[in-house]
Structure 1
Amino acid sequence: MDLFDMSQERHRPLADKMRPKDFNEFFGQKHLLGKGKVLRNLIENDKITSMILQGPPSTGKTSLAHIISEKTNSKFVKLNSVSLTVKELRDTISKAKEDLKLYQKKTIVFIDEIHAMKSNVQMTLLPSVEEGTIVMIGATTESVMHEIIPPLASRCRIYTLKKLEEEEIKEIVQEALYNEQRGLGADDIKLDEDALNYLADISDGDIRDALGALETAYYSLDKEKNITLKLVKETYEQRLNNISTNDEYNLMSAFIKSMRGSQTDAALYWLARMLYSGVDPMYIARRIVVHSVEDVGMANPHALTIAMNAKDAVAFIGASEGRLPLAQAVVYICESPKSNSVYKAINSAMDFVKNNRAQEVPENIQQGSKSYKNPIDYPNSRMRYINDNVKLNFYKPQNSGTESKIFKKHYNQ
């Protein structure tokens, strides 16, 4: 390593220095990478196929890709999804074909934030992924079903990574604290236990965030070598736009649960706290829209309209006066009857789709079917909407508000 490399190494962020190099250093994701698990076996046996890693930020997607690059006997190419062009991708695929033909060496193409890749570029990947010319590893924080074109997603295995638990965050932070080669161990820094607990809690599973806060606290030390809770809190006060010592996620959790519990004054208090602390009003508005369906739902379908109007009003009039439509939507949701039947129904349907084979569309409701009869015009017609051997019971109406009429209809009351 020359002087230039040493200078670069010193200026690398702590989170990057502590990136795991093998499975022994990799924390979390035991459901995928524990000993004997399918994905780990595929990696260790150098038998991986194209895959997409989806999950929250800082759960180890990029780190896992780097471990794969070290564990497999393949050429490893990293591409930028945002600026990637069809020409650049074709050049990469052409080189991969050449390496495979001349040297029998596979090429792994890693595409971080693959959801940002244009659809025409995604289409260019299809033949090479299907033929095995390249092994593609995509990483995304977004939903594969919504952001990746279906033909590409269907040719990849999808692995979902989970956010790290608090104890896992603590282990990694302590390793960074004591590691002399890559961490802060050479300086004999101490971290108070309550500061460690706070770091693990407020980072909400984001290890990059926790290590970033630790590094900032470390560089702010003067002569002392002890990182206290007070110092860590000051670090987060800067990051969270003056939310003081309160975690933004906890505020949002309190807000959501107050709306769900029909506690109007409490919900307004948490709304005011978040607005005063600088939380993005559009972020709040999106949560209100979600809970107008999740918690009110069919008991008062107008709640969704109110919530959407509030979101649009905030975008139109800005953050300051936007507090008014937000407050109105919050009061409306709090005072509405509640039902989570729609939330339960779609989750049940998604689970069924995930765990059962795909159902064929019955002939009488296929596009252009000659045997279809509109039930509005032919109320006594007997149409098949799902195969006869499939019994579905996702939607279970609740006896609440507007939905009580549906409840009585379903249960003959």
Structure 2
Amino acid sequence: MDILRFITAGSVDDGKSTLIGRLLYDSKSILVDQLEALEKQSKNKNADGIDLAILTDGLRAEREQGITIDVAYRYFSTPNRKFIIADAPGHVQYTRNMITGASNSQLIIILIDARQGVIEQTRRHSIIASLLKMKRVVVAVNKMDLVDYSEDVFNSIKKDYDQVANSLGLKNVAYFPISAFNGDNIVDKSEKMTWFNDEPLLTFLENVEVNEDVDYENARFQVQYVIRPQTEELHDYRGYAGQIISGTYKKGDRITILPENIETTISKVETGGTEVEEVFALQPAVLHIADDIDVSRGDFFVKSENKPRVENEFEALVCWLDKRELTEGNKYFIQHKSRLIKTVVKEIEYKIDVNTLQQTPVSDSVKLNEIVKVRLKTASPLVFDAFEKNNSTGSAILVDETSNSTVGAVMLL
């Protein structure tokens, strides 16, 4: 079975945690002892006698406030698919949490309170989805039970959000009227909204196509480990292990090793300890090359006719994750998959307002949760694609040199 990674986002108290709890509960993904504990802790009980939001509101502070302040990951499966859910916070001061949660997601579910309609936080979450180039958006109009399951209310919200989606270039938007509290249109079709003719939300999530996200054209492989057993049996064995980031590789392919820009040929391809004819995107593999070349961790193997960018200076969008402020001239490490390089912030060009997408000047420094466009310069060349072309080779993190803590999420431009 394949895996769908998705994130939920919405304003405070829009029902994100309850929706996830409903998916877990109705798909029978909760163990008996968890269910018993849930019943004891529940204060805001539904018809089943439980408060489903508790399943994801794991932090004590969250339970006291009734809000989500961290990204909670939950896993469940149906006979058709496995799922990884990221429950992102709605507060603007936790923008960093939403960006880190959405960075690995293939789909975003934006919840809208049927009583409130499209509000400022809805637009902000949609803007972040557009910045992260999310290819699929699900708009779940929640709490339909509090507006008498009105078709007119749903259609009005759908019309309003269509304008937001069009202005941000969001495509593949699907709409669902739901009640997470009562379970309407989550796992089973709601008898109270017979006017909605489409499938329930879980059926949609089980069947939405995700394989098309895999890039089989731009061949990218980064060395994670050089295998040199140096045993009598494998005296001359030298293999380069890693994951096929994108594209395909087979014996005889003419490749270029970057950043040194040396050409060679693939002499053998292995996966799972067995020699194979070809390996594909997302597979772990060991590649062998025909020539004796000095290759180390972090180097890229790419097809000679389709190379990524190799630059020492480049632009990027950075979501700042640290309480210590970012200023021009600051030095960090940039971690780009398995490659770690020293870098300096040469210029902070502008700040992006996550509520409007407007570009505003940066007066002195960049604070926690702010998103800025910067120009970075690295000590050695970085091999990358633009985030829009390949989000795996187009993303990185900034790491503090002294504390080794992650201080910035980077989208390369």
TM-score range, shorter chain: under 0.3
Higher strand share: 2
Higher helix share: 1
